[in-house]
Structure 1
């Protein structure tokens, strides 16, 4: 062996020894790090072993003359990679990844931090500390025994369906969120959270986004015009879709169409009793859940505070039910009759014992106050504000504003000084923020009431105004809200005292469920130690109120037969369009497993004949057709091109024919393209005409300002000056039909949209047409959604290709309402939607 050869071998040995020492040190560091980890990260430690094995194989040196070992090393690297791939695949299964109900401890910490659970943990705080210190596998971050019991039910662990029902403020949301986190982080599948209203969806997206960033999942909003259908595919992160009922139904339909429904592992439904609301919303919820049950790929969790016939719902969803009367904060219910305050005792058997006299209310009222405030609203409110919160539920929107003004007007001077000084700077900042949102068109009522810490809350406000008021109420800047009953089922606004102005909602006597929802806002956990409610009752309504308070909660019944079976027809159309059923027999089998089918068999209703009748109506409307299958020689069902368009556009099934005729008329008679007014008329929602009552004098004033091209639009639609003048004078003519009035109402609404697109603000349009700004914003949002639906409707109908192309621009304008140079900016995630060009420039 030569000298050079010996030097080469020596050098190679030193390199090998050095590599070995480095590897040994790294291995010791890895062992030291892994020794500090808890035993709960078993799957993660296995991954680390595989990674270390891969790095070890890659770092091994290859001595000269041993080229074959290089091949062996590659084999070992390949084996290690395969092992890691198998581990990643296994992690898609049901694996616990931490001590908190299978979740990492970080989830517990974040829930405690962001939900402020420490305010109502009670004696569980000590128990939690002991568990953390002793590293026991189950930690308690829940506020009560029922939550732990519910989370550890065998059905929940085996991922079966579950329904749980508790009073308002019992802590149902926390259980749902933990189950959602289990699905996203442990089972590595997407989840859907269904909420009844847009405002609640927005609130939930805002609160969950903080947790999503920390825990590494996505939160997507599906409400109004937001949310892509079908959803974008995600490879790295799982998504939580927070949806309204209608959007959730469209989302599920699109996933079934795309054959991606298996990506949804969990569907959580809040306010499950919406199944029985007797409208399109309830029918959509039942149809969506029935499809998910038919496919059997997703776990369904339902929760509600007002479910009386939970057995029917459990049978329908094939779910285990859990009920409890737990309430973390004691609630005392009262009714007020005259000057007397009576405590409600619903457990009393004798009618005379249902109301126990507590005290007489006596406030230093002068004669004017006694006349204008006979129910002592001011005195009852001043017992709790400004240092505690109060909600006053009113029967109408107009009454909300008048009550807020009345309290400010008659507030005693010595009290008003204290209230005006309380959080004065925060109230000034709120007024400034409201003024900015309103483009300096601040409501006169809010301008007067906010300095006193008061505001009203109903659908007449814009969404931005409502959000500012809600945030200010939650942080204590506002101490009293006058509101309508919709707030009870809406956003989470708790109160020390809840006052119900009347047992009526508009003209209807309130139900037990609505009453429970409203008084449930009193004494919310984490905010108050006790809560109380006061229902103001006239003597004539005493017996009816007593019967209502002692009656059971209203049952939840199927909504598929609403509007003469519209919900049932829509469900059958979607089943055929999605190819979930292809024959009459299969449809009958499917419907028999819906809530309608289950309750129909109980109530001896002829569900099969109703199903057959609904299917026949779809065939007559040319939405579904039958054909002979060549292979089986049997009759099968399929959708027509019109039926496919109606399903794809999510068009109301009874409005489908009318929409088709309107589009045909436009294509036949021509369309005015000098402006977008004609297109705006086409996308004005039909259902909005049911609620609007035009002021014909205002209509005539606006009509007289139209230019020639805009007049041409009115002429093609059938609106003339003679028709409007006849409505003003009240004269009638055989020429004017119901269709003419519906067209006029729709054109009246289109003029509101036309004003907004011509750079008029919501507040200017509301003042011009003498309607609430909330109505204008709701109309604008509905028109944007309907425009998108019509565009999808026209997509598969070749005869409407031109309208499909033209609607793209209108849909874009309605969605963003900004100039072309600002549209790219508004498409960026996180940039606020702007409804006025000046506000765009200011922002």
Structure 2
């Protein structure tokens, strides 16, 4: 038997509806009162409140929200009536805000299984898990970071407390107190669930190595993360952690007098007594200088490059700790093997560098422990428990029962073929399986059962006052889901006044970006919904993430990459399906996404709902119960990786003899997971291939030495195979470099594209080719790119990629197509205009610009290592334009904060042609210029227009301050020259 809530009908309902309201309003009844209330209120009269506009603080409005947001509007004409009433009552929004017709989410109905004694009639919102309470620091003093055992400075402990970390969990204490960890004598590998507090352990150990320093005031640490967004987030966090801490405070902190005397102390210097945290990632403006940081937060590639440079120039002795986050990625076929390379190099140094590896999805932790020769620790503790569900054909099943779902549904499907038309599809066996179901919708846009479920589940959560993360398989899916969910949520006019103002502020901030306000975000944000994917620019993603984290947005719809790419927990996580693109996600990615459920300090429980279609049911059930795959080394799966490993250690002179190379290989994870004879054979073959490629040579003593080309490839941080292509391209360019234009330089700065990820719009290619000047056409001819071939492709031809020569030619076409986009960016065409022109997402265009900056730096290093000084100088001169996104006359202005590309040109056109001119201007003078620099925007109401100007005025003040600092540096340089 099932129960529904219909308008104007007396209906038997569960206590769930009322307790949801209590949860949203923060009111709790003791358990006995809840049971009594349930017994006394098994039936009552309900009347539809959907469409009646009231304040969210109004009790009746909360009731309306709780009863599944218009569950009473069950028929089509009722839905449309509600829709019209809501549309007619909207007010208080900015004139430019777009809205689509409102939707009413389908009601979510409880079954007998959930209303019975087992479910207690309560939803996940009000259930409290009975698990042993965590002891406090008053019971266990070691749960306080101020305990002398940890030897942390008082200021650092205070900073942690200010960030909300006043005590640690028992598992964190046990892990930190493992043998030799606090003293840095042992390495550590540990595994803890997402949201279990695993990062704090690594932070404490890393900070101790930097602060203690082994008597050295120049102690360094590296924190290695897989994604740029994580690097940026971690830099902000660590800067807050070390704020106000100087090395002067760290002398013998927490030690007794005898230990202080034994410890080598340093004399603090004014310029180096602060703890400097710097982020390094592709396209970042900061050059990777080993001497300019104490804690380097790096992507995998940047960390490997930094370690190579430090070993080569013998400054590696300053490195005291390396943290490898998400170390399960070591078996990632594309870039994870670099983690193995950099860690193995550290193991070969013979100096005390503490390596800390952590992950939420490690299974064979023993292998990593043996490889790193350290201590291991595993925990399954989560401060917020997670309740997991599978949603199939609108029915919600507890994840624990999914093992028998297939059998049950197969039987039901078989029975349904034989049933009479009047018989119900829902049988008694099925009712015992699912605990809730979502009624089908009358709206055409919600006819798809999965989409309908997502809108209803998100609507239910938001109206109860919680946050939702929805994972979709594609960028288009993210935007579609976000728009539909926003149409079912209360409009902006019905939001809390404070939240309403913050959402309008968010719209203003997005509108003031150089790319303008995305039209779909303009629709969704007023309802508290946004999407987050690679198609957005970095600035847009940061604003969306911050607004969601602050509670301004209640729903964030994201692609799967967000699960590992940034830390945004939610009360409820909904997976549109278990796919990333067309392929099913793996067990590790599924765990990452589900692990985002539950927000410590805000939620009592986390919930996950994995939606599944009939065609995927068997695969999804298997996936939900699949064990995490065991990680293994990727070095031997592709000979290119082992070749790079050998070339790097030879080029930086870490291992040059056959014996030292054998020792290096014996310290890899590969050596522990594969047959030694097989590994030995692969090494022998790779050394021969490196010699044939002319990357290494052997001297008379049978020692290996990197050639000039080999050293250049390592200095540029590129794969050996890509190095061959780059070397051939640059060698040809030396004979006939086209310097009367910019296309040849831009082509050289464009990374080698993956042919599977870059698609060419041949119509656009043809149009751009026809507009090239004589210099650009000569570059095409020099590269062997033929207009005839472009014309063939335009009319349905194919670009052959069967032979190595054909693949290289295809690479050049793809690379030149990207170089055309880069040309527009360097000539002050805004990112969103380039994106429109080439039919590419804005985020992809911005990522191209950022990646090219890192690749350009590598090309300059390559030329310098090859001894091509003139070429390096020419490329270096143009690299400033790449960073500025502007022509040469604007390079000085483009150094000012917020003044880049098109904005710099508008400053120039308005008479502000020098840094000094901007520095001597009043912020109010710059306001009209900044208004002019903004992309076309819709007309705003007077109140919103003033707020928009206030934001630009704040930006103008930052610009003036930045210009003043730059001008002072210019004056100082001129004074010193005199």
Cα displacement string for residues 248-288 of structure 1 (whole angstroms, at most 9, x for unaligned residues): 11111111111111111111111011111122x21211100
2: CA distance, partners of 1:251 / 1:701: 42
Q: How does 1:697-708 map to 2 (within 5 A)?
A: 697-708=763-774
2: CA distance, partners of 1:353 / 1:190: 59
Residues 1:577 and 2:651 are matched in the alignment: yes
Residues 1:477 and 2:552 are matched in the alignment: yes
1: CA distance, partners of 2:893 / 2:200: 36
TM-score, normalization by structure 1: 0.79
Deviates more, 1:152-161 or 1:673-682: 152-161
Q: CA RMSD in A?
A: 2.7
Q: Give the drift of 1:817.
A: 2.4
**Partners of 2:231 and 2:299 within 8 A in 1:** yes
Instruction: Provide the secondary structure at the position in 2 that maps to 1:767.
Output: helix
Report the CA distance shift for 1:346/1:686 in structure 2 as closer, same or farther (over 3 A).
farther
**Partners of 1:694 and 1:745 within 8 A in 2:** yes
Which residue of 194, 202, 224 corresponds with 1:168? Answer: 194
State the partner residue of 1:385.
462
Q: How does 1:195-210 map to 2 (within 5 A)?
A: 195-210=225-240
**Partners of 1:818 and 1:837 within 8 A in 2:** no
Instruction: Provide the secondary structure at the position in 1 that maps to 2:590.
Output: helix
Q: Give the drift of 1:586.
A: 2.4
State the partner residue of 2:289.
231
Report the CA distance shift for 1:600/1:364 in structure 2 as closer, same or farther (over 3 A).
closer
Cα displacement string for residues 41-75 of structure 1 (whole angstroms, at most 9, x for unaligned residues): xxxxxxxxxxxxxxxxxxxxxxxxxxxxxxxxxxx
TM-score, normalization by structure 2: 0.69
2: CA distance, partners of 1:353 / 1:186: 61
Q: Give the drift of 1:452.
A: 1.1
Which residue of 335, 338, 350 corresponds with 1:296? Answer: 350
1: CA distance, partners of 2:374 / 2:765: 54
Instruction: Provide the secondary structure at the position in 2 that maps to 1:357.
Output: coil
Which residue of 284, 305, 323 corresponds with 2:338? Answer: 284
**Partners of 1:396 and 1:484 within 8 A in 2:** yes
1: CA distance, partners of 2:732 / 2:720: 19
**Partners of 2:179 and 2:375 within 8 A in 1:** no
**Partners of 2:530 and 2:556 within 8 A in 1:** yes
| Largest Rg, 1 or 2 | 1
1: CA distance, partners of 2:659 / 2:798: 52
Q: Give the drift of 1:175.
A: 1.3
Instruction: Provide the secondary structure at the position in 1 that maps to 2:753.
Output: helix
Q: Give the drift of 1:738.
A: 4.5
Q: Give the drift of 1:317.
A: 0.6
Aligned residues: 705
1: CA distance, partners of 2:236 / 2:182: 29
Q: How does 1:329-728 map to 2 (within 5 A)?
A: 329-345=384-400, 357-363=433-439, 365-372=441-448, 374-375=450-451, 376-385=453-462, 387-409=465-487, 411=488, 418-419=494-495, 423-439=499-515, 441-562=516-637, 564-601=638-675, 606-629=678-701, 635-668=702-735, 670-728=736-794
Residues 1:802 and 2:870 are matched in the alignment: yes
**Partners of 1:420 and 1:451 within 8 A in 2:** no
Cα displacement string for residues 730-787 of structure 1 (whole angstroms, at most 9, x for unaligned residues): 2479999554433222111111000111110111100111101111111111111111
1: CA distance, partners of 2:707 / 2:502: 60
Residues 1:730 and 2:796 are matched in the alignment: yes
Q: Give the drift of 1:245.
A: 0.7
**Partners of 1:419 and 1:453 within 8 A in 2:** no
**Partners of 2:385 and 2:605 within 8 A in 1:** yes
1: CA distance, partners of 2:368 / 2:404: 30
**Partners of 1:166 and 1:304 within 8 A in 2:** yes
Cα displacement string for residues 602-640 of structure 1 (whole angstroms, at most 9, x for unaligned residues): xx77110011111111011000111113xxxxx111111
2: CA distance, partners of 1:415 / 1:228: 43
State the partner residue of 1:153.
178
2: CA distance, partners of 1:232 / 1:255: 7
State the partner residue of 1:51.
none
Instruction: Provide the secondary structure at the position in 2 that maps to 1:290.
Output: helix
Deviates more, 1:151-160 or 1:692-701: 151-160
State the partner residue of 2:278.
220
Instruction: Provide the secondary structure at the position in 1 that maps to 2:398.
Output: strand
State the partner residue of 1:815.
883
2: CA distance, partners of 1:817 / 1:530: 47
Where in structure 1 are there 5+ consecutive unaligned residues?
1-95, 119-140, 630-634
Q: Give the drift of 1:213.
A: 2.8
**Partners of 1:496 and 1:532 within 8 A in 2:** yes
Which residue of 849, 853, 864 corresponds with 1:784? Answer: 853
Q: Identify which of structures 1 and 2 has the higher relative contact order when contacts are C-alpha pairs closer than 8 Å and 6+ apart.
A: 2
Name the one with the larger helix percent. 1
Cα displacement string for residues 623-665 of structure 1 (whole angstroms, at most 9, x for unaligned residues): 0111113xxxxx1111111111111111221011111111121
Q: How does 1:137-148 map to 2 (within 5 A)?
A: 141-142=167-168, 144-148=169-173
**Partners of 1:97 and 1:186 within 8 A in 2:** no
Q: Give the drift of 1:145.
A: 0.5
2: CA distance, partners of 1:379 / 1:639: 62
Report the CA distance shift for 1:839/1:826 in structure 2 as closer, same or farther (over 3 A).
closer
